[in-house]
Amino acid sequence: MTHKTKGVVLRTVKYGETSVIATVYTELFGVQSYIVKGVRQATKKSQGKGNYFQPGAMLNMVVYHNELKNLQFIKEYEWSYLYNEVLFNVVKNAVAMYIVELLQHGLKQPEANPELFYLIEDTLKQLDKGTNTFTANLPLYFTLHLGSELGFHLQGSFSKATPVLDLMEGSFVQDVPMHPHYLSGEAARLTSHISNILFYNDLENIPLNRNMRRELLLAYQHFMVLHIPEFGEMRSLPILQEVLS
């Protein structure tokens, strides 16, 4: 039985002489692995097909799906959105690769989550169109909102009564906790603000210097590590920090 679904490519590895296995986050089925035949053949018909399965690519697909199998098959595919800037702009490409790697580390279960899919799809589209300030702030926004979709939304908000963000508990509290996993002061205030943003355009109004953005990116990665078992090391984070500096 075939199904029509959108998907965002997360990872691709070579398979056999001419094919690939693509890990895709799909709208209908969550994380799935697909065998895509013939995309590495040196023929005119296959030329350029490998580009469809670059990490971050957004596709419309017709797929075969069997709940009992770990590997599925793609019958048809086409672009659902074709980037204008992400593939050619160094900063935007670094942000896109950070988002994709964050998903690789964070999505441990195959279950579908349409709201998460729409967040990923919309974030990548907005990245493609965004200004420099928007682009620089987007990784912070996406990391916190991804955490919310995965079940650890920050509780409360920054105030005089709750000026400390306990990263282990995921909540704003009155006193510094007995462990080192927390944010306070300006870092806690900014995190509260970013967490409560509802519209992408509001990211334009958050002026951050290099040091604060670096501190927040490291803290948010640590937040993910605390809440996702075997999260692992983000290889794209140092690259992103270097590019944003």
At a CB cut-off of 8 Å and minimum separation 6, what does 92 contact?
Answer: 85, 86, 127, 128, 130, 135
> With bands split at pLDDT 50, 70 and 90, how would you rate the model's confidence at 245?
confident
pLDDT of residue 46: 58
pLDDT digits (tens, 9 = 90+) for 95-149: 999 999 999 999 987 889 999 999 999 999 999 999 999 999 999 999 999 999 9
> With bands split at pLDDT 50, 70 and 90, how would you rate the model's confidence at 18?
confident
pLDDT of residue 127: 97
pLDDT of residue 199: 86
Q: Tell me the average pLDDT across 11-34.
A: 93
Would you say residue 156 has pLDDT above 90? yes
pLDDT of residue 214: 93
> With bands split at pLDDT 50, 70 and 90, how would you rate the model's confidence at 39?
confident
Q: Which amino acid is at 162?
A: T
pLDDT digits (tens, 9 = 90+) for 41-67: 766 665 668 789 999 999 999 999 998
At a CB cut-off of 8 Å and minimum separation 6, what does 201 contact?
Answer: 134
> With bands split at pLDDT 50, 70 and 90, how would you rate the model's confidence at 163?
very high
pLDDT of residue 45: 63
pLDDT of residue 176: 96
Going along the chain from its start, the domains and CATH numbers come out as 1-82 (2.40.50.140), 84-245 (1.20.1440.120)
Q: Tell me the average pLDDT across 74-92.
A: 94
pLDDT digits (tens, 9 = 90+) for 176-212: 999 999 999 999 999 999 999 988 889 998 888 889 9
- Mean pLDDT, the chain, rounded, equals 92
Count Cβ neighbours within 10 Å for each residue of 163-195 and write b for 16 or more, e otherwise: bbbbbebbebbeeeeeeeebbeeebbbbbbebb
With 0-12 / 13-18 / 19 or more C-beta atoms within 10 angstroms meaning exposed / middle / buried, residue 19 is middle
Cα angle 78, 145, 161; round to 5: 170
Q: How many CB atoms lie within 10 A of CB 107?
A: 20
* Torsion of the alpha carbons at 66, 67, 69 and 71, rounded to the nearest 10: 70
Structure tokens at 190: 């900014």
Of 157, 169, 217, nearest to 193 by C-alpha is: 157
